[in-house]
A = this chain, B = another copy of it.
């Protein structure tokens, strides 16, 4: 299997979304996010989502032409009314707003309401960290995870991500967790491969624990009440704060529309201390951790995001490795929209 050129996979992905009605700048943004995830070694959030995003457009859940609007709430805060814009389009706007406000106010908060699948949340945190800011981003969506004690979907697998600039010469520190034991992408992957799920990750339709991906009907929160409570709070800090709740309308059957809300916080490190001093402290911690005795079978201590940064570095040179199934899907898309398929890495 040939590895694909990162640039050309991005070009192709953007053309698909332009064909589906997006402006070039918006399509480029969505493509950049998806290919970023593939390059970081997270194919569940990569171009494998193209089909699903096209479905959202077809169903009207995603408005390819939408222009998200910023409503300022004082110098340090804003809301982005996404009007069903693609997640990356609304989120990148929110990141810019949060960073811009952090520059003068030390902190910037942006609440995003009414967007669609935002994809890999680490991407937004990484963008903010690249500006010399600390980032916190979280997202609430439609129910796909049990709340503590329920045996049906009640909350979303709300991801929580944080990032800070890295030590000099090292990648930025990018942490990204789902509030579920395993994410939706991993469940889908297990369904395809037939591999068992880890214990405690899912319930079947009768509410019994299962490791059979086919039988899995609802994901379980990490740490029980911890992940469940986290997901619930993120809904309240986004949907309830913005007057655009997602969970209760879905639970009560009043909505079946795909939707996401998000919270974006940027903190300008230079407002607190020189950025280089901060980076030096990140480096000291990294060094201290790397000197510690390891658990059996563990080869090294990794900082959050380090594996993804290494993967991205390698794939920048060697091209993106995708599964045979994904290559076939891309070929089909190229045919369907009469586009030049993504080129292999030269």
Q: Which A positions have Cβ atoms within 8 angstroms of B?
A: 73-77, 79, 104-107, 109, 111, 134, 136, 146-152, 154, 160, 162, 164, 173, 175, 177, 181, 203, 207, 222-223, 225-227, 229-230, 232-233, 235-237, 239-243, 245, 247-248, 251-252, 265, 267, 269, 271-273, 277-278, 281-282, 284-285, 287-289, 291-296, 298, 300-304
Q: List 29 A-B contacts (CB under 8 A).
A: A74-B104, A74-B105, A74-B271, A75-B76, A134-B241, A146-B295, A150-B292, A151-B293, A151-B295, A152-B292, A152-B293, A154-B289, A162-B230, A162-B237, A173-B232, A175-B230, A181-B223, A207-B293, A207-B295, A222-B222, A223-B227, A225-B304, A235-B285, A236-B285, A240-B282, A245-B281, A245-B285, A248-B281, A252-B288
Closest chain B residue, CB of each to CB of A111: B272
Partner of A271, one of B73, B247, B300: B73
Q: Which of A75, A203, A223, A291 has the most chain B CB atoms inside 10 A of its CB?
A: A223
* Cβ distance A330 to chain B, nearest Cβ, rounded Å: 31
- Alpha-carbon distance A111/B267, docked complex (angstroms): 11
- Alpha-carbon distance A172/B119, docked complex (angstroms): 32
Is the CB–CB distance between A73 and B288 below 8 Å? no
Partner of A106, one of B109, B235, B236, B293: B109
Is the CB–CB distance between B106 and A272 below 8 Å? no
> Which residues of the partner chain B approach A181 to less than 8 Å between Cβ atoms?
223
Closest chain B residue, CB of each to CB of A136: B237
Is the CB–CB distance between A304 and B233 below 8 Å? yes
Partner of A149, one of B76, B207, B241, B302: B302
Is the CB–CB distance between A148 and B302 below 8 Å? yes
Is the CB–CB distance between B105 and A282 below 8 Å? no
Identical copies in the complex: 2
- Alpha-carbon distance A74/B268, docked complex (angstroms): 11
Is the CB–CB distance between A106 and B162 below 8 Å? no
Is the CB–CB distance between B284 and A245 below 8 Å? yes
> Which residues of the partner chain B approach A77 to less than 8 Å between Cβ atoms?
105-107, 267, 271
Is the CB–CB distance between B295 and A233 below 8 Å? no
* Cβ distance A184 to chain B, nearest Cβ, rounded Å: 16
* Cβ distance A57 to chain B, nearest Cβ, rounded Å: 29
Please judge, given known A-B contacts A233-B173, A298-B149, whether A106 and B74 are in contact too, CB under 8 Å. Answer: yes
- Alpha-carbon distance A214/B302, docked complex (angstroms): 30
* Cβ distance A216 to chain B, nearest Cβ, rounded Å: 15
Please judge, given known A-B contacts A149-B302, A240-B282, whether A203 and B289 are in contact too, CB under 8 Å. Answer: no
